[in-house]
């Protein structure tokens, strides 16, 4: 016999107040004289403590028609003395943060990500949950949760995890649908946009078909894309049978806008497998009351970042030349990051909760995003696997293997399992890869591996081929990074690259440079005045540190930065062409 469900009702009688009215009915639990209700502190998929309980108001509880005392135990936990009886908890949630991780309610629509709206009953998260929604007049409801028969505003979740893993969009949004691979896909599109809707739907169809083919089908029969068209892009968040995408609504003015949308959709949809089903033990079931530490975010997020591009290639949404051009531009930016080889990827993953999303001033000198470096580590592993298998097997095959042999059987992965399955594909040891690039800090050998895959690699000094004067000025470098470059803004230091001329001259974070060689500067002119000095020449800087004026002299150096370019090598040997063809699908 199924245990009695916990019932939630969500009403929004005054959308302009931005407050959801939530009721939670807890069934009788005779074996428990008291119980704790807990409000989550974080949202799975976003590794930062957000303390959602700060938006809870008018919390009250009753049992048997009488008020219950609520004893607050900490920032997110309350104790109820129910005596085993059924209890009802009522509260309001202020929802005024438009993001995929939180909740928003206004006179145009409502959206929630469940951990920002629903209490859990400690020890009872495995119970089924029923959700009843009372939408504002004229509003429709879109969610991946199955509706109860004959009750379009009521939904059932197998447990608390499924309840909060199923975001809900309510409003007058447009609703589209298509079928692929035996599954039904829906798109709930909220907000104004200049998107070509037929092209958008065709893009999503090709993405899901290409990804489903990689894994041999879909692990669901229905999936929902919730798209919020906003003034600026805000990112996405994955769920087991849906995702939420916050995009720039009027960004579809060129091919770049459609590519950006496709990349975000491909990334979040790949998470259907990587993170939501292929995941380590701590990423489901979750502990919602505290940080859930993992050393695998480089794999879950960084490798997904890499796979999004390959999905677009497989789907025919991205040309090979465009892919390589974007890859080179991203590699150029990555190589300019001073902290890329300071902290191991596995440690970057573990410390995400305290460093990635709460960065100190020295963050970019000591760290790099596990998304960013994880992406390049994924490329390296993909090419190593293809080298070992004459191009036939790579990262897509590794993911399919992890799904088929581990996750589809209900088992979590860990670093040892990932390495074991990768080595099984390669037919050889990969201890050097995992030791040097995942648990170590060695420079990732991307250029060398690309050359073995038939890619022509060039690294040029900063310059402008059409302007020799500008090209010459770009050779000077001192290691200063300024917070902005707008007209009239102060030239305040955001970073000083370690061991650079500026570092040795004693400049540091938040110093405000006011003059170079006695000439007044701001954020839009300071780099120009520094570039007046050729490598080897000295520049005198006047700057404020707090309220005291100081001076320093630094000696300009030749810039160590390089601008990278990747292209198909027409002279590549046959073995490299074969690897390239399997990797990119590129034919000569």
Q: Is the per-residue pLDDT at 465 higher than 80?
A: no
What is the chain's length? 588
**In the structure, what pLDDT confidence band is assigned to residue 60 with cuts at 50, 70 and 90?**
very high
DSSP states of 326-372 as a string? HHHHHHHHHHT-TTTTTS-HHHHHHGGGTTTSS--TTHHHH---HHH
At 284 the pLDDT is 86
At 587 the pLDDT is 59
370-388 and 320-335 helices cross at what angle (nearest 10)?
130
Q: Is the per-residue pLDDT at 499 higher than 60?
A: yes
Across 458-481, average pLDDT: 90
At 254 the pLDDT is 97
How far is Cα of residue 553 from the mean position of the Cα atoms in its chain?
A: 41
Phi, psi of 193 (to 5 degrees): -160, 155
**In the structure, what pLDDT confidence band is assigned to residue 118 with cuts at 50, 70 and 90?**
very high
**In the structure, what pLDDT confidence band is assigned to residue 480 with cuts at 50, 70 and 90?**
very high
The dihedral through the CA atoms of 292, 296, 298, 299 has a sign that is negative
DSSP states of 64-99 as a string? TTEEE-EEE-SSSEEEEE-TTS-EEEEEEEE-B--S
Across 190-202, average pLDDT: 98
At 462 the pLDDT is 85
Domains in the chain with CATH codes: 6-171 (2.60.40.3650), 174-270 (1.10.390.10), 319-452 (1.10.390.10), 468-558 (2.30.42.10)
Q: pLDDT tens, 304-315? A: 999 999 999 999
Q: What does the mean pLDDT of the chain come to? A: 96
Q: Is the per-residue pLDDT at 588 higher than 60?
A: no
Q: How far is CA 486 from CA 171, 494, 525, in A?
A: 39, 14, 9
Across 92-104, average pLDDT: 97
Q: Is the per-residue pLDDT at 324 higher than 90?
A: yes
**In the structure, what pLDDT confidence band is assigned to residue 69 with cuts at 50, 70 and 90?**
very high
Q: pLDDT tens, 542-584? A: 999 999 999 999 999 999 999 999 999 999 999 999 999 999 9
Structure-block tokens of residue 13: 């009688």
At 255 the pLDDT is 96
At 586 the pLDDT is 61
Q: Is the per-residue pLDDT at 166 higher than 90?
A: yes
């Amino acid at each position: 016999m199924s245990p009695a469900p916990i019932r939630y009702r969500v009403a929004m009688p005054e959308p302009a107040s931005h407050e959801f009215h939530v009721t939670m009915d807890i069934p009788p639990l005779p074996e428990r004289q008291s119980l704790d209700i807990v409000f989550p502190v974080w949202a799975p998929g976003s590794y930062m403590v957000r303390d959602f309980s700060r938006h809870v108001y008018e919390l009250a509880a009753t049992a048997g028609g009488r008020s219950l005392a609520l004893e607050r135990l900490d920032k997110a936990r309350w104790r109820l003395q129910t005596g085993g009886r059924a209890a009802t908890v009522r509260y309001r949630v202020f929802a005024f943060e438009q993001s995929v991780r939180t909740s928003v309610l206004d006179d145009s629509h409502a959206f929630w990500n469940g951990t920002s709206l629903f209490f859990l009953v400690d020890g009872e998260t495995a119970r089924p949950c029923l959700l009843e929604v009372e939408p504002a007049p004229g509003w429709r409801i879109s969610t991946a949760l199955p509706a109860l028969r004959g009750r379009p505003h009521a939904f059932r979740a197998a447990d608390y995890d499924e309840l909060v893993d199923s975001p809900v969009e309510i409003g007058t949004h447009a609703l589209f649908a298509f079928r692929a691979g035996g599954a039904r896909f829906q798109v709930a599109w909220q907000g104004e946009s200049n998107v070509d809707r037929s092209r958008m739907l065709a893009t999503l169809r090709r993405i899901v078909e290409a990804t489903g083919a990689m894994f041999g089908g879909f692990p669901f029969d229905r999936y929902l894309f919730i798209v919020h068209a906003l003034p600026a892009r805000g990112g996405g968040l994955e769920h087991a049978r849906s995702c939420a995408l916050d995009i720039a609504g009027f960004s579809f003015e060129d091919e770049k806008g459609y590519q950006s949308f496709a990349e975000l959709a491909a990334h979040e949809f790949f998470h259907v497998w990587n993170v939501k089903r292929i995941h380590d033990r701590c990423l489901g079931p979750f502990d919602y009351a505290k940080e859930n530490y993992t050393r695998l975010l480089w794999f879950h997020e960084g490798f997904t970042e890499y796979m999004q591009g390959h999905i677009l290639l497989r789907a025919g949404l991205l040309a090979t030349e465009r892919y390589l051009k974007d890859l080179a531009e991203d590699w150029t930016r990555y190589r300019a990051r001073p902290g890329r080889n300071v902290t191991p990827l596995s440690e970057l993953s573990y410390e995400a909760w305290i460093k990635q999303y709460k960065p100190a001033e020295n963050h970019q000198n000591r760290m790099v995003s596990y998304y960013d470096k994880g992406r390049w580590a994924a490329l390296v592993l993909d090419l190593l696997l293809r080298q070992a298998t004459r191009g036939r097997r790579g990262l897509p095959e590794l993911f399919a293997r992890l799904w088929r042999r581990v996750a589809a059987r209900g088992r979590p992965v860990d670093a040892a399992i990932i390495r074991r399955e990768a080595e099984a594909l390669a037919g050889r040891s990969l201890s050097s890869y995992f030791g040097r690039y995942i648990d170590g800090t060695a420079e990732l050998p991307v250029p060398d591996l690309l050359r073995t895959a038939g890619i022509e690699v060039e690294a040029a000094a900063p310059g402008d081929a059409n302007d020799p004067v500008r090209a010459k000025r770009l050779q000077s470098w001192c290691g200063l990074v300024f917070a902005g470059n707008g007209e009239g803004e102060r030239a305040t230091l955001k970073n000083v690259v370690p061991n650079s001329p500026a570092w040795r001259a004693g400049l540091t974070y938040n110093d405000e440079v006011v003059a170079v060689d006695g000439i007044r500067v701001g954020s839009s002119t300071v780099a120009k005045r520094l570039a007046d000095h050729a490598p080897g020449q000295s520049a005198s800087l006047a700057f404020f540190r707090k309220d005291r004026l100081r001076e320093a002299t630094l000696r300009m150096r030749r810039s160590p930065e390089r601008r990278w370019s990747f292209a198909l090598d027409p002279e590549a040997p046959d073995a490299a062409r074969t690897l390239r063809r399997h990797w990119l699908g590129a034919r000569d």
